[in-house]
Structure 1
Amino acid sequence: MNNLLKGINLYLVAMPGAGKTTVGRLLAKQLGYGFIDTDEVIVKAVGQPISQMFAEQGEAEFRLLESKVLAQICAIQKLVVATGGGIILRRENWSYLHHGLVVWLDAAVDILYSRLVEDTTRPLLQDPDPKAKLRSLLEQRQPLYAQADLRITITEGETPEEISTRVLEAIPSVLKKPDSLPNGC
C-alpha cells in the first residue's frame, strides 16, 4: 500500500458525522502515511473549541483560518487529511485540495443525523431542527463535494474498516485516468 498514491496526499471531504477522522486514521495506517485533522490543528493552534471560535469570531474568520491551515498542510507529502465539513466552501481551498487525491465520503442525512444527534459541539447544528439544518447544508454543499476525484457512498451500518477498504480499492481506478496524479503544492 505504501506506493499506491506515490506520496501524494489523500484529502477526505464530507459533511460532519460522515467519519472523515475515523476513516482517515485507518487509511493513514494502511497507507503508511501520517494523519492530520484540520479541525484538530485549528483547535490546537487557537487554543479554543471551534464552537467558541464561531461564537466569538464568526464563521468567516474560522473559514479563513481553515484555508491558512490547509495551505500549510498541502506542502507536506504522504498525509491523509480529514478536512472540516465546510472546507469546500472557499474556492481557494480547492486549489490546495486538488494537489492531492480528494475523496468524498457521501453519507445520507439520516446517517449523519443518527451520528450527530447527541453532539453539542457542532456550531452549525445548534438549530431547533438539526436534521433540517443538515439537509439544508448537504443540499448547499453537494455540488461542491461532487468536485472530488472519488465518491464513496456510505451505507447504514457500514464500519469504518469497510469504508477504508472501499476507498483503497477504488483509488487505482481514479489513478488510471490521464493526468490524475497531482504533483503537490
Structure 2
Amino acid sequence: MVTQTDAGNLVLIGMPGSGKSTVGVLLAKRLGLGFVDTDLLIQEETGRTLQAIVDQDGYEALRRIEEQVLLKLGVRHKVISTGGSAVYSARAMEHLKTNGTVVFLDIPLDVVIERIGDHSMRGISRRPDQSLEVLFEERFELYSRYADLTVKGAGLNQDQVCEAVVNSLFSDQR
C-alpha cells in the first residue's frame, strides 16, 4: 500500500458533489500539504468555464483538455482534487498514481443529486443522451478500479469525511 507520505500526493476522485474540492482543502490543511484543483487549472488554461467548454465544444473536448492538464501535472506533496471525469483517461490516472495515493470519495446517487442540484450547469462531462444515473454507474466502476482507498461519505459532513480519509491513510502504517 502506497501512502500519502511515501508518494507525496493525495489524489481525490469521485462524482461531482462528492466533496473533492472542499474535503481536499481540509485535508491539505490537516496534512500540511498544498492544494490543487484540476478543474480550476482547466479553466485557467482555457480561459473558459467547464460548462462553456461542454456547451461550445462538447463533453469529449473537456475530457481531452482534462487529460492534457493531468498529464502535465508534476507536483509533489499536494492534495489534488480532480474533475469527476478524470477517470476516463487511463494515461492520466496512471500518471497521477505514480506520485500519489488515489482516494475515491464515494457518495450515493441521491446525495449527488441533492448536492449538485441542476447538473446541466455544472460542466459535467457526459454524453448528451446520458442520464445522471447511467453516468453514476459508469463512473462508479472506474472510480473503484483506480482507487487505492475508498471512503464512504454517506451521512458524513466534510470534516468527518476528512477525518475518515486521514484514518484510512494512516491505519495501514501501523
TM-superposed CA distance for 1:23, in Å, is 0.2
TM-superposed CA distance for 1:43, in Å, is 0.7
Give the superposition deviation at 1:5: 1.3
Structure 1 segments, 4+ long, off by >2 Å, are 118-121, 123-127, 172-176
SS of the equivalent of 1:123 reads: coil
Match of 2:154 in 1: 155
Question: Is contact 1:120–1:126 with CA below 8 Å preserved after alignment?
Answer: no
Inter-partner Cα distance in structure 2 for 1:97 and 1:175: 21
Counterpart mapping for 1:50-61 below 5 A: 50-61=50-61
For residues 146 and 53 of structure 1, the distance between their equivalents in structure 2, rounded to whole angstroms, comes to: 27
Cα pair distance change 1:102/1:4, threshold 3 Å: closer
Compute the displacement of 1:82 (Å): 0.5
Q: 1:143 aligns to what?
A: 141
How many residue pairs match? The answer is 170
- Cα deviations by residue, 1:102-134 (Å, 9 ceiling, x for unpaired): 00000001111111114652134899xxxx922
Structure 1 position 67, deviation (Å): 1.2
When normalised by structure 2's length, the TM-score is 0.88
- For residue 93 of structure 2, what is the aligned residue in structure 1? 94
Shift of 1:141: 1.1
Number of the residue aligned with 1:15: 15
Cα 1:175–1:58 change in 2 (3 A) is: farther
Structure 2 residue ranges without an equivalent (≥5): none
Q: Normalization by structure 1: what TM-score?
A: 0.83
Q: Pairwise CA RMSD of aligned residues?
A: 2.5
8 A Cα contact 2:126 2:135, kept in partner: no
8 Å Cα contact 2:60-2:125 kept in structure 1: no
Residues 27-84 of structure 1: CA distance to partner in whole angstroms, max 9, x if unpaired? Answer: 01111111011001111121111111111122222111111211222x2101100000
Contact residue 14 and residue 106 of structure 2 kept, 8 A: yes
CA distance, structure 1, for counterparts of residue 63 and residue 79 of structure 2: 20
Cα distance in 1, alignment partners of residues 163 and 51 from structure 2 = 32
C-alpha distance in 2 between matches for 1:120 and 1:4:
34
1:23, 1:164 within 8 Å by CA — same for their partners in 2? yes
SS of aligned partner of 2:11 = strand
Question: Quick one: which amino acid aligns to residue 70 of structure 2?
Answer: L
- Cα 1:72/1:126, change in 2 over 3 Å: closer
Question: Which structure carries more helix by proportion?
Answer: 2
- Partner SS, residue 88 of structure 1: helix
Query: Compared with structure 1, are the counterparts of its residues 117 and 125 closer, same or farther at alpha carbon in structure 2 (3 Å cutoff)?
Result: farther
Give the equivalent residue in structure 2 for 1:81.
Answer: 80
Asked if 1:27 corresponds to 2:41, the answer is no
Residues 4, 42 of structure 1: alpha-carbon distance in 2 compared, 3 angstrom cutoff: closer
Secondary structure at the residue paired with 1:98? helix
The one-letter amino acid paired with 2:18 is: A
